[in-house]
Amino acid sequence: MHIVPFKAIFPNLDYLQSVDGFFSTVKEDYPEYMESGFFSRTEKEAIYLYQIRRQNRQFTGVICSSKIEDYLNGFIKKHEFTIASKEQRQLHLLLRRKAIVKPILLTYPDVPEIEDLIQNILSNYEPDFNIEFSEEGAHHLIWTVTHPDLIATFQDLFEKHVPFSYIADGHHRTSTSALLYNRAKTPEQRQKYNALLCAFFPASQIDIYDFNRVVELDDMSMSSFLVQLSAVFDMKPIEKARKPEGKFEIIMHIAPDEWYSLKWKVKILELYKDKNVLLDCALLDEWVLKGILNMENLKENLLISYVEGPKDLQGIEKKVRKNNQAIGFSLYPVHFDEMVALVDQGEVLPPKSTWFEPRMKNGLVVLEF
């Protein structure tokens, strides 16, 4: 990977009366905030270390600029398709702001040499920013690295040891930046748009959660659905709510308070014995949502809603409670190695297969173009 230092734009913390309120509105209101003096530009190009500290977990990564050409040439890899309507919205925001206000979250297999360099800086220097987000219960810290030798070392290590990186969060922001670059009319425009704001977090510094589904039955009765479901699963009622204990088990919830363990029948799994990576979310989409419920265009189907893993089973229960014809499915999380294997084979994951942490804040580090 080719990483590039840049002159960041940071918020003026002295002007912030409500940290949570300010950063929750930056995505839409950045131009007004910038004009009013809530942001200021740094004088030197730098690479930045970004750390998020929570009570039981901390995440540390490197923020820098990367060339959009790395994405177009396949060095920055995607794991899901994008939607044109969302790209249109992102395009509007980018052109209005003339800036990228949130880094793309990229991940890669751990590299000890990069980790050692990061830890050396964290141990010997104080952070330039330490911002507490009370609603989230976390501190976001930033170290500015301007020394030419340190920057060169980071660049050398990434070029030698990180041939590819994988988009964890920010597919639409990335594809929209590529769209701007490809449609540039002049060399000056291409140069301006040839930059991505990136946050590189190694695999050990991200968490991959499950991404669960709640599906509303349309013109099918619950009894008919359960009968057809029993043809593809071994179904067993369970006394209380729990998450799946491993791959190929899905936990199903239906109103008012029924929970089932679903395990794929052997005859179903046998059909995929030659497949290197097999995901529960892909099987659920194929055999249940499409196969039984005849659903198409799953990413935009209004009968499907998604519940990110950090909301736990309560998030599923809350949605099911609102509709007696709703069924909740709790899935086992996709493993990092499974995602990498699929992407390296040129495949993408089913829509809403993974929920990555950490989630960075809009407006904490800004790249202007």
Q: Where are the alpha helices (DSSP H) in the chain?
A: 19-36, 68-72, 84-97, 112-124, 148-161, 171-182, 187-193, 222-229, 266-270, 280-284, 312-321, 336-344
If pLDDT is split at 50, 70 and 90, which confidence band does 299 have? confident
Specify whether the CB–CB gap between 78 and 343 falls below 8 A: yes
For residues 30 and 24, what is the distance between their CA atoms, to the nearest angstrom? 11
- Joined tokens for residue 25: 């509105």
Amino acid (one-letter) located at 51: Q
Neighbours of 225 (CB within 10 A): 18
Candidates 243, 246, 250, 260; CA nearest to 314 is 243
- Beta strands 196-202 and 104-108 are parallel
For residues 337 and 253, what is the distance between their CA atoms, to the nearest angstrom? 29
pLDDT for the residue 62 = 98
Least confident of 179-193, 282-296, 330-344, 352-366: 179-193
If pLDDT is split at 50, 70 and 90, which confidence band does 341 have? very high
Residue 50 sits at the vertex; the CA angle it makes with 32 and 349, to the nearest 5 degrees, is 90
58-108 residue pLDDT tens: 999 999 999 999 999 999 999 988 888 888 999 999 999 999 999 999 999
Burial of 148 (0-12, 13-18, 19+ CB in 10 A): exposed
Averaged pLDDT of the chain: 94
Amino acid (one-letter) located at 253: H
- Helices 84-97 and 19-36: crossing angle in degrees, nearest 10, is 60
**What is the secondary structure of 18-82 as a DSSP string?**
-HHHHHHHHHHHHHHHHHHTSEEE-SS-BEEEEEEE-SS-EEEEEEEEE-HHHHHTTSEE-SS--
Predicted TM-score of the model (pTM): 0.92
231-274 residue pLDDT tens: 999 999 999 999 999 999 999 999 889 999 999 999 999 999 99
Helix, strand, or coil (residue 171): helix
CA dihedral sign of residues 32, 37, 43, 49: negative
- Joined tokens for residue 294: 């005849």
CA distance readout (Å), 282 to 115, 229, 238, 248, 351? 34, 16, 24, 11, 9
